[in-house]
Amino acid sequence: MKQLRSLLRSLSVVNPDIESCAVISTDGLIIATALDKEVDPHRFGAMCASLLALAERAEQEVNRGRLRQALVEGADGCVLLVQAGGKAVLATSAKASINLGRVFLDARRAPAKAAELMAA
């Protein structure tokens, strides 16, 4: 899990607009985090799992295939959920000023590595 936490911390080093990130099981259990101190990891994990489940159902309802990512955009930033293997998701919180194209790119690379580390 040390390597997984290191991977999460490296995301905010590579892209300073990324404020927090976590790898969460699809059941909402925290696997590894690099969250702001103000964020309750267990609550965040549960909410992300719920959001992921709803996004997957919506995707199925309109026959768009397997969900790859979900984006929630607010006035002060966004939360991006990206599948990390079959049983986990990478949740990334970013500032409103972030270049979404870059966060998509950075957040797509990390889940593959996270899935690899979890399988080891």
Q: What is the CATH number of the domain that holds 70?
A: 3.30.450.30
Segment 45-50 mean pLDDT = 93
β-pairing, 77-83 vs 30-34, is: unpaired
Phi, psi angle pair for 29, to nearest 5°: -80, 140
Q: What is the pTM of this model?
A: 0.84
- Identify the domain containing residue 83 by its residue range: 2-119
The backbone region for 85, taken as left when phi is positive above 0, alpha when psi lies in -120 to 50, beta otherwise, is left
**Domains contained in the chain, number:** 1
**Separation of alpha carbons 110 and 4, rounded Å:** 10
Segment 71-93 mean pLDDT = 89
